[in-house]
Structure 1
Amino acid sequence: MVLVSPDLLRQLMERTGDGREVSVRDLADAAGCHPSKIGHLRTGERETAGEDEAKAIAKRLGVDLLVLWIPTGRANPAPAEPEHLAVAV
């Protein structure tokens, strides 16, 4: 999944669906990822997340999945992540 906009993510974190702010750590806990991944998404240094992470982030923020994320696939390939953020295989 590709993040629609780092600005939108930051805005939604400031005022979630229930009207309260959510921290980077709380959002990372909800998504099951490291807080640095959320930090990189917020700054635009990273643009992608796995489908399960994206769903969990959208759910925690109280928005529909497609408000915040664009699905990837053959017609919409995921952008390459910066080399220093890429997962070693």
Structure 2
Amino acid sequence: MLVSRDLLVLLMERTGDGSKISIRELAEEVGVHPSKIGHLRTGEQKTAGRAVAVGIANRLGVDELVLWAPIGRTVAAPPEAPAISEAAA
């Protein structure tokens, strides 16, 4: 989940290399339609797939967790316990 749409806008104004990146340029570089970036910037959309989220963070020059908050499980669910059979008498 996007931490802050305002942060995304700010980071697009000054990326890790000090340059500005447009919605269209960022979309092209991460392989999504420009409307996806636009919806993230306006808050209409708050999530993105892992590859897109990582691509956006990398292009903007920040760690993924600066821009995105994990949702769901952060660790794998524990395996199911084996069935208990009746004890021999």
Shift of 1:72: 1.6
Distance 2:73 2:51 in 1: 19
Between Structure 1 and Structure 2, which shows a larger proportion of strand residues? Answer: 1
1: CA distance, partners of 2:30 / 2:70: 17
Structure 2: tracts of 5 or more residues without a match = 75-89
Q: What is the TM-score normalised by the length of structure 1?
A: 0.80
Structure 1 residue runs of 4 or more that deviate by more than 6 Å after TM superposition: none
RMSD: 1.1
Equivalent residues in 2 for 1:8-87, closer than 5 Å: 8-74=7-73
Identical pairs, percent: 66
| Length, aligned pairs only | 74
**Does 1 or 2 have the higher relative contact order (CA < 8 Å, sep 6+)?**
1
Which one has the largest radius of gyration? 2
Q: Scaled by the length of structure 2, what TM-score is found?
A: 0.80
